[in-house]
Amino acid sequence: MTDLIATLNEEQARAVTLPAQHALILAGAGSGKTRVLTTRIAWLIQTGQVTPQGVLAVTFTNKAAKEMQARLAAMLPVNPKAMWIGTFHGLCNRLLRAHHREAGLPQLFQILDSADQLAAIKRLLKTLNVDDEKFPPRELQHFINGQKEQGVRAAAVDAFDDFTRRRVALYAEYEAQCQREAVVDFPELLLRTYELLSRNEPLRHHYQRRFRHILTDEFQDTNKLQYQWLKLLAGGEEGEAPACLFCVGDDDQSIYRFRGAEVGNMLAFEREFKVPNVIRLEQNYRSCGNILDAANAIIANNTQRLGKELWTDRGEGEPIRVYEAFTDGDEARWLVDEVQALVRDGMLRSDIAILYRANALSRGLEHQLFSAGVSYRVYGGLRFFERQEVKHALAYLRLIANPDDDTAFARVVNFPTRGIGARSLEALQDAARTYNSSLYATVSHLSGKPRASIGAFVQLIETLRNATASLPLPEAVDHVLDQSGLRAHYESQKEKDGRERLENLDEIISAATNFVAESEAPEPDVAHPLLADFLAHASLEAGDHQADATDDAVQLMTVHAAKGLEFDAVFLCGLEEGLFPHENSLMETDGLEEERRLMYVAVTRARQRLYVSLAQSRMLHGQTRYNMRSRFLEEIPEALTKWLTPRTSGGQMQARPAYFTPSPAAPRRPAVAARAPGRDLGGLRIGQNVRHARFGVGVIVAAEGSGSDARVHINFGAQGVKWLLLSVAKLDPV
C-alpha cells in the first residue's frame, strides 16, 4: 500500500490520505482523479478506517465501474464484486431489488431502456386515444424524464396552463401503467430509491450507518436528483456524523448539461457541506506536452470556468497531426491506412481510438475498416446498420426485393402506424399458418377489416416496387424513405433523437451511393438488380466482424462515450464547422462552450499521438456539404501541429480542384442531393452571420449548388436550421 502512495505526487497523496472529512478534488483531465479515488478506497480499507462493505463508489459508466473493481482487486485481498461500486442506475437497481417490497415493486420488476420507455408511452397514448400529434410521444418522454430528474412526481408538478395540465395527467397515467406492468424506467430507478430512503426511516438509517465513505467520480455531470440522492445517503441527521463525501470532477469536462447535469453541484457541495478540503491536481500524467498544450489552448477560449491549468513533465512528444482530406471517403481511407501503419509498428489495435462528434459519422469509417479487414468495436451506440430506423428502412427495401420476407413484413407492416390492430395481425398470422404461405401472400385470403387495412400496406409495397424499378439505387432509397412515411414519422419527433434518426436515414442514401460506385455495376445502374446485393452487404456489415470485448480491436465511439478513457493514439475526425461544433450549438454561447468542453474531452483522451482530420466535402445525411474548418482546429496553436496535407488558407475551404481524379471508391455519379462544387454565394461565405426578414439572424453552415441553384444551410437558432435558395431568400450580411 505504501508503495501505491509512493507512486503518487504530493497533492495526490494528500488527497488519498485525507482524514475522514468531506473533500472535493477539482482537477483537469488526466491529472489522476480516478486513480486518486480508487487509491483512496484501497487506503481507507487497508488502514482499517472502513470495511469494504462501508464504501459506496459511484462511477459514470459500467466500464469504469469494472475497471475500478479490477484495480482494487489488484491492490487488496477483497472481493470487489461484493462492494458497492457502480453507476447511479446500477446501485439503485441493487437497492430496489433488495427492498422491492418496501419500494412497492415485485422482485422481478423489469427495467425499461429508453426505447422501451418510448414504446410504452406510445402504447399508453393509443389506449387513451390521445392525439399523438398534439402530444408527440418523444416530447412526452422528455417531459416525464425531466420531471423525474428534478425529483417531481405527477401529483407535484405545478401546471399553470391547459397543455401542461394534460401532460401532467398523461404523466400520471404513465406512472400507473408502469406500476401495473411492474416496469421501471431509468430515471425512475433513482427517484424510486430516493423516495424509498426518504420515507423509510429505519432503512435510511441502516444505509446511512453502513456507508461511511461515499465517493463520486465525474461529479461535474451529476444532475439535481443524483446530488439529492447522495446528500440523503450521506445523512448526518439528529446529531449523527454524516458519511464522508469524496467528490472528484472537472468543470471543463461537463458535457451533459443538455441532459440536466448541473455543474453548479460542485459549488453547492462545497458550500452546503462546508467542505474543508478542496484539492487541485495540476500535473497531467496522461498526455505528452503538445497534446496538453493544445487542450489548454482550446479550453482557454471558454469564459465559464472555475479555472485551472495543467502541466506535464513528459516532454513535448509528437506534434498533433492534421489531415485535410478532399472528401470524407478520402479521410476514412487515410485514417485506416494510418491505423494499419501504427499496428505494423507494434501498437495494439485496442490502444487506438477513433472519435467523432455524431454517430452518423461512424458509417463511413466502419465501412473502410470493414473493407480493409481491420477488426473494430463500436462503443455506446449501435453499429450503423443495426440502428432501429435503419433496420426499418431496410425492411421496406427487403420487402421490395422479396415480399416473402416475414420478418421484414412484421417489422414495418404497422410502422409508421397505419392503424393495423393486433387482432388483424393475429388473423393474418393464423391464415398464413393455414395456407402455409408468407404473410404478404396471405393477405389476399383475408376478408373484412384486416383485408382492407393490411391490403393497403401490400398495395404500398407494390407501388414502391414499380416506382423504384427504373431509378438509380440511391434515388430508389430516397423514394422509399419518403413514400413509406418513415421520414415524415421521424420528422414529427422534434427531440434530438428524432433528428439523429433522420440523419441516419439519409445516411443510407450515402451508403447506397458508395455501394453503387464500388460495385462495378453495369450501366444503367438501376435499382432492382443491385438491391439484393446492397441488402446483403448491409446485413453482412451489421452482423459479422463485430469483435468481442476480448479481441484486439480498434475502438470507435462518440466523444461523449470516451469520457474518462485514454488511448495511446486518438483519431478525432470530422473537425468541420457545423459538425464539431455541432450546427445546433452555433447560436448560443452556452451551446458553444459545451461543444468546446467536448473538444477538450476529445483531445485529452490521447496519450502519445493525436490526429485530427477533416474533409473539404462530406457526404452526410444524403447530401454533400462543404463546411469550413472547425474553429476548434484554428484554436490549436500552429506550432503544435504538423500538417500531413498542404495547409490551405483557412477560411472557406477550397473546392476540389478540377484536375483531381476521383479515387476508385469515390462516387462516380453525383448522389441524389449532391451538386457541383463550384459555388458562387453572392459575396457570402460559410460561417458568416446573416439576417433574414422572417427568421432573423442566423449563421451559414453549409452551401450547395451554384448560380441560380445555389442554396445555403442556415442555422437560425430557435427558429431552426433551414435550406434557403440564395436567388430567392433576401439575406443581409450582419
Ligand X SMILES: Nc1ncnc2c1ncn2[C@@H]1O[C@H](COP(=O)(O)OP(=O)(O)OP(=O)(O)O)[C@@H](O)[C@H]1O
Q: Which is nearer to ligand X, 220 or 585 (CB)?
A: 220
Catalytic residue from among 253, 442, 468, 493? 253
> Is the Cβ–Cβ distance between 478 and 591 less than 8 Å?
no
**Cell representation of residue 572:** 478525432
Q: Which is nearer to ligand X, 357 or 607 (CB)?
A: 607
Single out the segment in contact with Mg ion by CB under 5 A; choices: 29-37, 126-134, 432-440, 520-528: 29-37
Query: Is residue 33 annotated as part of the catalytic site, yes or no?
Result: yes
Query: Is residue 150 annotated as part of the catalytic site, yes or no?
Result: no
> Is the Cβ–Cβ distance between 712 and 723 less than 8 Å?
yes
Interaction of residue 87 with ligand X, rule CB under 6 A? no
Task: Look at strands 696-704 and 689-692 and give their pairing.
Answer: antiparallel
- Give the side-chain half-sphere CA count within 13 A for 512: 35
Residues of this chain, 434-493, that bind ligand X according to CB under 6 A: none
CB within 8 Å of 720: residues ≥ 6 apart: 695
**Nearest alpha-carbon partner for 679 in 656, 653, 699, 705:** 705
Interaction of residue 34 with Mg ion, rule CB under 5 A? yes
Of the residues 16, 18, 26, 34, which one makes contact with ligand X according to CB under 6 A: 34
Interaction of residue 250 with ligand X, rule CB under 6 A? yes
* From ligand X, Mg ion, none, interface partner of 7 (C-beta below 5 to 8 A by class): ligand X
Residues of this chain, 35-54, that bind ligand X according to CB under 6 A: 35
Q: Which is nearer to ligand X, 6 or 693 (CB)?
A: 6
Q: How far is the CB of 563 from ligand X (least distance, A)?
A: 7
Q: How far is the CB of 203 from ligand X (least distance, A)?
A: 33
Catalytic residue from among 11, 12, 33, 35? 33
Interaction of residue 80 with Mg ion, rule CB under 5 A? no
Query: Is residue 134 annotated as part of the catalytic site, yes or no?
Result: no
Catalytic residue from among 185, 188, 218, 541? 218
Of the residues 5, 9, 519, 568, which one makes contact with ligand X according to CB under 6 A: 9
Interaction of residue 249 with ligand X, rule CB under 6 A? no
Binding mask 13-32 for ligand X (x = CB under 6 A): --------------x-xxxx
30 assigned to a ligand binding site: yes
How far apart are the C-alpha atoms of 513 and 476, rounded to whole Å? 11
467 assigned to a ligand binding site: no
Give every strand in the sheet of 244-249, ordered side by side: 84-86, 55-58, 213-216, 244-249, 23-27, 277-281
3-state DSSP of 146-166 = HHHHCCCCHHHCCCCCHHHHH
Single out the segment in contact with ligand X by CB under 6 A; choices: 7-15, 90-98, 453-461, 471-479: 7-15
Angle between helices 328-344 and 362-372 (to 10 degrees): 50
Binding mask 560-589 for Mg ion (x = CB under 5 A): ----x-------------------------
How many helices, marked H, and strands, marked E, lie in the chain? Answer: 26, 21
CB within 8 Å of 536: residues ≥ 6 apart: none
Reduce the DSSP state of residue 74 to 3 states and report it: helix
* From ligand X, Mg ion, none, interface partner of 286 (C-beta below 5 to 8 A by class): ligand X
Of the residues 137, 329, 564, 578, which one makes contact with ligand X according to CB under 6 A: 564
372 assigned to a ligand binding site: no
Catalytic residue from among 605, 609, 625, 679? 605
Q: DSSP label at 644? A: S
How far apart are the C-alpha atoms of 167 and 386, rounded to whole Å? 33
Q: How far is the CB of 368 from ligand X (least distance, A)?
A: 28
Q: Strands (DSSP E) along 65-139, which ranges?
A: 84-86, 110-112
Single out the segment in contact with Mg ion by CB under 5 A; choices: 32-40, 649-657, 674-682, 698-706: 32-40
Q: Which amino acid does the sequence have at 14?
A: R
CB burial class (10 A; 0-12, 13-18, 19+) of residue 175? middle
Query: Is residue 218 annotated as part of the catalytic site, yes or no?
Result: yes
**Cell representation of residue 36:** 486518486
29 assigned to a ligand binding site: yes
Using CB under 5 A, list all residues that contact Mg ion.
33-34, 564
Where in the sequence numbering do the catalytic residues fall? 33-34, 217-218, 253, 605
Residues annotated as binding site for ATP?
27-34
Using CB under 6 A, list all residues that contact ligand X.
7-9, 12, 27, 29-35, 250, 253, 285-286, 564, 566, 604
